[in-house]
Chains A and B, each alone.
Chain A
Amino acid sequence: MTVRDRVSHWLLVLPALVFYVPLAILPIFFGLALSLTKWSGLGIGNLQFIGLANYGKLLNDRMFWGSVTATVKFSMLNVPLVLILGLIIAVAINTKLPLVGATRTAVLVPMAMSPIAVGILFTFLMSPSMGLVTRLFKNPLLVQNPNYAMVVIVLAQAWSALGITVFVFLSGLQAIPHEIYEAANIDGAGAFRRFAQITIPLLRETLIMITIITIIGAFKTFGLIFVLTQGGPYHATELLAYWMYKLAFLSHRMGYGSAVAIVLFSIIAVMTFVQLGTTRSGRARYY
């Protein structure tokens, strides 16, 4: 690469960097620096450098492990639900069953909604005094019950994330050559066998990619929790992202909250690298 090429490359990325560096890169380093302090968030004079003490405290904090457990539980419920439903709907749309257009629209619409809007919608549905769902189940306290609150959050998140999942699966399905299915038909393979032995293996990379994206989405879930449950009842839906917010902005423990943010960032970064690796290898093999 010549010097001129390098200069032109940098010039091309410069507009993006102008926004990305101050709004994304610098805050990461700022957060990292804050995680080494004890600070209420008010008055820089109150900031105290405490080294890695926040990280040490995290390891012994029951709230941290409770939050990690809730996040993992949420992911374990949310990810399979989104994948299974997403794949079923994508296959249905791909095979051009009746009402495909309506189904596609119904599935894709939530994609355009912000998590806050989804949260408000579910708040109405679950309202103890006037909610449709609470009246159907004759139980006014669904979101307020620790046993049901997580289920409600999982369903809301799944509904919200289903559109993008279907969309990605659909593109994967449409990339599978028809000749393979035709050959299997000639060999006498039934629908289930074609699905199990052709569709699933050829969707392997797509599956891995969408799984990782969904897990990342689950770890980042904040808006829904903020609107629907505020992490409750009694920490039942207090996922890491919400707990981080609560520490930093409600309990005013900026340093400790930043340490949680760095841990969360690290988890998501690792998964992102895995996803990037998978995507690259997938492209090399199938597309």
Chain B
Amino acid sequence: MSKKMSRRELLRLMGAGAGAAVLAGCQPRVVVETVEVEKIVEVEKEVEKTVEVEKIVEQTVEVEKIVEKIVEVTAVPPPKEPEEILFWSTKSSGTELDGIEAMVARFNEENPDIILNHVGYETHDMFNTLLPTAFAGGAPPDIFDNVGFWWLFQLIESGDVLDVSDWYAENRDRYPPGTEAAYTHEGKTYAAPYHLGATNFIYSNVRALTDLGYSVADLDTFENMVEVFEAAGKADQVAIPQGFQGGWNATHWVSCLIDRAVGAQAATDTFFGRNGRRYTDPEIVEAVSHFKDFNDKGYFGIGAASEDYFVAQNRWLGEDLGVMFGLGSWNAGQITGAVDEGLEVEITMFPKMEDKALSETNNWIYWIHLFSAATNRADPQLLLRCLDALGSAEYQQIAFAHTQQLYAAKGATEGTQVHPLLRRLLDLYDDATNLVPVCDITIKSEVTYVMYDELIGILMGQVSVEDAMMHLDEALQESLS
């Protein structure tokens, strides 16, 4: 059966078709967009997840870093080779070497990360040849012994010595006041003080003195002391066996005589050419003239002509051949171990012009041994540890047990068996509150040997006191220029 489509129906159908087509055209798009949105949502979720994962990863990395740090901090480091520290001292023989070797052994035992290698040299070689050559050649020791003004300031000026001011500021109360000038330069500190030498002490053989009809108390003034010298000569004794007419220049006696004449501070100024003081000053010439008189009148014996004057000194003492001897703290340690027990020795002070006691300002340290560190090490902490130990009372007690000499740190004799003779000396020293660190009559190294030569010249009658002091003054002025 067939039915003809009217035009109206056709148009309606076409319209519907068109509409359907339009609708059909629109319908799929709606589906796609929905899918994409879903996808985007999924991706966003994925991204969120990724971000979360990344955050977790980041957190993990941070945790790992923290763990690494914790491991770094807490883990035991791999075994490290101990650092070798080269240590030069002037303690090259006898009890002094024993003392310092004992200190070094103790240090190495207590500090397994450091090997302190000690090499002891004879003083003359050390100061005159080895030390300057080692520094000039760029191969200095890490820690070195020096005697105050002798080399230290020259090395400081050439930038070779470690500034230990901070360490010293924390440890200042370890040491007696008055020693700092020996190792302080332009307000900075460069050493740990170690071994002291104090002059002005006269040792008397009490038995020999009594035989002459005198007592130690009679040595209270310069004039009385000279009277004892005269009496000794008349009794065929030697007044001062340690002096020596030939080869030894007896600088100790000269320093005492100058100290007596002008006081320690003025004497120091003279030796440094400071404050207008000079060797040619009349008081200095007069003081040295006493030295010449002592020699001319035969007060100095030849006991010290022996290669080892301590041996000679002990022989003279032991045989009651000499009345007085020695002027230095270092003699005590040598006497205590080498003479008969029956020998009675007393220590008195060298008579001053005004008979001042040791505790007043006219006294000095004759020399002071210092331990300094070179600037050649990248890590100065190791060197400071060495200086800290070597400069401590505990370590200096170790040396004292061998040498029975004076050490710089307070308490260096505590808990140690001290010979009564040295006890007396230590008491005198402990009373000292204003030590002037003169550190040898021959302050400036350039002048040292001129002084020695001129004193020998005086003893030998080869040069007058006036000319000798003029030569010395010329050398000092040359050095200062």
Contact = CB atoms under 8 A, between A and B. Distances in A.
Interface in B225-253: 245-247
Contact of B306 (A40, A129, A145, A235): A129
B463 A234 contact: yes
A43 B160 contact: yes
Given A249-B128, A251-B445, A43 B302 contact: no
B111 to A, nearest CB: 31
14 contacts: A42-B155, A43-B158, A43-B159, A128-B247, A128-B305, A129-B307, A141-B246, A231-B453, A234-B454, A234-B462, A249-B129, A250-B128, A251-B449, A252-B132
Contacts of B132: 41-42, 249, 252
Given A145-B460, A234-B456, 20 more contacts: A42-B135, A42-B154, A43-B157, A43-B159, A127-B306, A128-B306, A129-B306, A140-B305, A145-B246, A232-B456, A233-B246, A233-B456, A233-B460, A233-B462, A234-B453, A249-B132, A250-B448, A251-B445, A251-B446, A251-B450
A40 B302 contact: no
A246 interface: yes
Contacts of B456: 232-234
A15 interface: no
Interface of B: 128-129, 132, 135-136, 154-155, 157-160, 245-247, 302, 305-307, 312, 445-446, 448-450, 453-454, 456-457, 460, 462-463
Contacts of A232: 247, 453, 456
Contacts of A217: none
Nearest to A134: B305
B170 to A, nearest CB: 29
B22 to A, nearest CB: 101
A54 interface: no
A249 B154 CA distance: 14
Nearest to B463: A234
Nearest to A127: B307
Given A41-B132, A42-B155, A42-B158, A141 B446 contact: no
For chain A, the bracket of interface size reads 20 to 34
A26 to B, nearest CB: 15
Contacts of A253: 446
Contact of B158 (A45, A141, A234): A45
A40 B154 contact: yes
A235 B445 CA distance: 18
A240 interface: no
Contact of A128 (B135, B159, B302, B450): B302
Q: Which 10 A-B pairs have the closest CB atoms?
A: A43-B158, A144-B246, A128-B305, A234-B457, A141-B246, A234-B462, A144-B247, A129-B306, A251-B446, A42-B158
Nearest to B447: A251
A143 interface: yes
Contacts of B160: 42-43
A171 interface: no
A223 interface: no
Given A128-B246, A141-B245, A234-B457, A246 B135 contact: no
B130 to A, nearest CB: 10
Interface in A224-261: 231-236, 246, 249-253
A236 B159 CA distance: 39
A83 B128 CA distance: 37
Contact of B305 (A45, A144, A234, A249): A144
Interface in A120-139: 127-129
Of A46, A231, A235, the most chain B CB neighbours within 10 A belong to A235
Contact of A233 (B129, B247, B305, B445): B247
Nearest to A124: B307
B31 to A, nearest CB: 92
Contact of B449 (A127, A140, A250): A250
Of B445, B460, B462, B463, the most chain A CB neighbours within 10 A belong to B460
Nearest to A128: B305
A252 B446 contact: yes
Contact of B157 (A46, A236, A246): A46
Contacts of A41: 132, 136
A146 interface: yes
A56 B193 CA distance: 43
Nearest to B311: A129
Contact of B247 (A42, A143, A249, A250): A143
Of B158, B246, B448, the most chain A CB neighbours within 10 A belong to B246
Contacts of A128: 246-247, 302, 305-306
Contacts of A45: 158-159
Interface in A193-236: 231-236
Nearest to B455: A234
Nearest to B312: A129
Contact of A129 (B128, B305, B462): B305
Interface in A143-171: 143-146
B136 A140 contact: no
Nearest to A144: B246
Contacts of A250: 128, 445, 448-449
Contacts of B306: 127-129
Contact of A146 (B245, B454, B462): B462
Contacts of A42: 132, 135-136, 154-155, 158, 160
Contacts of B307: 127, 129
Interface in A30-64: 40-43, 45-46
Of A234, A236, A249, A252, the most chain B CB neighbours within 10 A belong to A234
A242 to B, nearest CB: 11
Contacts of B463: 234
A140 B245 CA distance: 11
Of B159, B302, B453, the most chain A CB neighbours within 10 A belong to B453
B375 to A, nearest CB: 12
B86 to A, nearest CB: 19
A189 to B, nearest CB: 52
Nearest to A145: B246
A46 B160 CA distance: 13
Contact of B460 (A40, A234, A246): A234
B322 to A, nearest CB: 15
A234 B159 CA distance: 36
